[in-house]
Amino acid sequence: MPPKSTSDLDPRPFAAWGLGLERPLVIAGPCSAESEVQVLATARGIAATGLAQVFRAGVWKPRTRPGSFEGVGDLALPWLARVKEETGLRTMVEVATAAHVESALKAGVDMLWIGARTTPNPFSVQQLADALRGVDVPVFVKNPINPDLQLWIGALERLQRSGLTRLAAIHRGFSWFERTPFRNSPMWEFPIRLKATFPDLELIGDPSHISGNRSLIGGVAQQALDLGFSGLMIEVHADPGQARSDADQQLKPEEFERIVRGLIFRQAEPTPGMRDRLDELRELIDQLDEEIAQKMGARMELASRIGEHKRAHHVAIIQPERWEWIMERQLRLAPHLGLSEAFIREFMDAVHRESIRKQTTGEDGQEILQPAGSQGSGREGLDPQ
């Protein structure tokens, strides 16, 4: 059965959600609710595409530094009620405090999400879980800003223990030191591992925050769908150039429509209703292998730069303590990842040999210097980084 466009899907409701929503779930709306005119214009533009089921808007905006636009607060909630009344779209806001939860629910907001700055704080998540105890509302949990899977899992567990059953996770990428084309590194291995921990958990991709640039949103969105994500959250603004927050990553409604109509959602085979599990897992492995290769390429580029820097400054490259530190660090990490010591040693030896090659050869591949002790595995002293 050929893949279908997201604009031409057979309805497949999320039975557990109780909202009659189809898969893939498409959530769209501005980063921030700035004015009633802006909210309604954006919602009408989104509704006209027929491609979204939920309208999102930031009402309370946690900002990195004071002085940035932090949302208009409760003032925006009646605007969202108008959106639902006029367009039929469900509404969704971010909550970070118990007071936010109370205000949103009182205003009839349909869905809530917990943001990347709140997720890593167990105290804040517990306060939200307590405020939501006994409430039957879908709650989405964004990954923490930094790549910490246990914090993500912990937040979901706290909500589960409060009796919430309609939970989903939103993957918005991670802050990372490596230079990448993205605002936040996708690190797809983290949502995949989360899904392995909670097989029934729905994963929603946030290509807007991963990309940070509207030109990259389509590619990231497609990759999320290819990895089996249940839907997407995409930032849309009636006039992105005038947006008071995250202007570069917001789409006009017509851009949103063009991108979403171009996406391919690889639906399950029509037999028992599920795609063959083996093919699904192999597809995930292929995606991860590609990321591993990209990261290894970046690592070797750094090794090459270090080699150039040392040659320019006539610095010796024999540093055995550096290699031993790296190996010991990886061996300590291995048990926590379910990896054997033998595998880590073989893998890191191979990485080390390639690092030596990058540090001791020029762009033409010719040897620049022949370090002492470079035979065998080359572990005798070269600094692999």
Query: Could you report the per-residue pLDDT of 291-313, keeping only the tens digit for each?
Result: 888 888 888 888 888 888 877 87
- pLDDT of 384 reads 45
pLDDT of residue 371 exceeding 50, the answer is: no
- pLDDT of 364 reads 54
pLDDT of residue 179 exceeding 80, the answer is: no
The predicted model gives 251-255 an average pLDDT of 97
The predicted model gives 17-46 an average pLDDT of 88
**Torsion angle, CA of 357/360/365/370, rounded to 10 degrees?**
-100
What share of the chain in percent tops pLDDT 70?
82
The predicted model gives 112-118 an average pLDDT of 96
What is the DSSP secondary-structure string of 278-313?
HHHHHHHHHHHHHHHHHHHHHHHHHHHHHHHHHHHT
- pLDDT of 270 reads 42
Inter-CA distances, 218 with 4, 210, 229, 244, Å: 16, 11, 14, 23
Q: Could you give the CA distance from residue 169 to residue 205 in angstroms, rounded to a whole number?
A: 9
- pLDDT of 307 reads 80
Lowest mean pLDDT segment, chosen from 158-167, 178-187, 194-203: 178-187
Lowest mean pLDDT segment, chosen from 236-245, 317-326, 347-356, 369-378: 369-378
- pLDDT of 115 reads 96
* Highest mean pLDDT (candidates 8-12, 163-167, 359-363): 163-167
Superfamily of domain 279-360: Chorismate mutase (1.20.59.10)
The predicted model gives 165-174 an average pLDDT of 93
Beta carbons of 184 and 219 less than 8 angstroms apart: no
Q: Based on the number of CB atoms within 10 Å of its own CB, is 191 exposed (0-12), middle (13-18) or buried (19 or more)?
A: buried
Of the pLDDT bands very low, low, confident and very high (cuts 50, 70, 90), residue 199 is confident
Of the pLDDT bands very low, low, confident and very high (cuts 50, 70, 90), residue 375 is very low
Q: Could you give the CA distance from residue 186 to residue 304 in angstroms, rounded to a whole number?
A: 25
Two tokens at 245?
């927050």
The predicted model gives 258-278 an average pLDDT of 69
Nearest to 78, CA basis, from 66, 68, 93, 64:
93
Superfamily of domain 4-275: Aldolase class I (3.20.20.70)
Q: Could you give the CA distance from residue 218 to residue 251 in angstroms, rounded to a whole number?
A: 11
pLDDT of residue 220 exceeding 80, the answer is: yes
Pairing state between β 264-265 and 54-56: unpaired
Inter-CA distances, 128 with 175, 194, 311, Å: 24, 21, 56
Averaged confidence pLDDT in the chain: 84
Inter-CA distances, 180 with 148, 174, 175, 177, 299, Å: 19, 11, 11, 9, 13
Domain ranges of the chain: 4-275, 279-360
Beta carbons of 119 and 92 less than 8 angstroms apart: no
Q: Could you give the CA distance from residue 17 to residue 14 in angstroms, rounded to a whole number?
A: 5
Backbone angles phi, psi at 58, to 5 degrees: -80, 120
- pLDDT of 63 reads 64
Beta carbons of 62 and 117 less than 8 angstroms apart: yes
